[in-house]
Amino acid sequence: MSDANVQVVKEIYERFRAGDGEGFLALLSDDVVWDHRGPDGPAFNKLYEGKAAVGEFLGELGAAEEALVLEDREYFTSGDRVVVLGFMRFRALATGKEWESDWAMAMTVRDGLVTHWRILFDMGREADALRG
């Protein structure tokens, strides 16, 4: 278990909650793989490759939704992988509808930077809120 890797992931959440996009991106490797693929729904449900692409993801997400709650609750590690269980609540900006879901995020951390990220949550709730 790597306490240093857990600290990097905790910092990712803090920077996201603070709206610090630049600081958030600074914790990612240049060749990061950001996997937000899911079923039909928002245009940002796709695979992003590279730090600049993740910046685009953050912009697309921020233009569509507002994070109301993002709670990272439990951490598990194995080698360079950190898995986090949590809860989130967002508001779709176009519709005003709120949605929430438990989630799991898995990140690979190498040399103090996130190199791979994957999220699992109820993407149907998100899509419904965005559609109105």
Could you read off the pLDDT of 12-66 as tens digits, one per residue? 999 999 999 999 999 999 999 999 998 777 788 899 999 999 999 999 999 999 9
Mean pLDDT of the chain: 95
Ramachandran quadrant class, 26 (left: phi over 0; alpha: psi -120 to 50; beta: rest): alpha
Q: Where are the beta strands (DSSP E) in the chain?
A: 28-35, 47-49, 65-78, 81-92, 98-110, 113-121
The CATH code that applies to domain 3-131 is 3.10.450.50
Give the Cα separation of 61 and 42 in Å (integer).
9
The structural domains of the chain, with segments of one domain joined by +, span 3-131
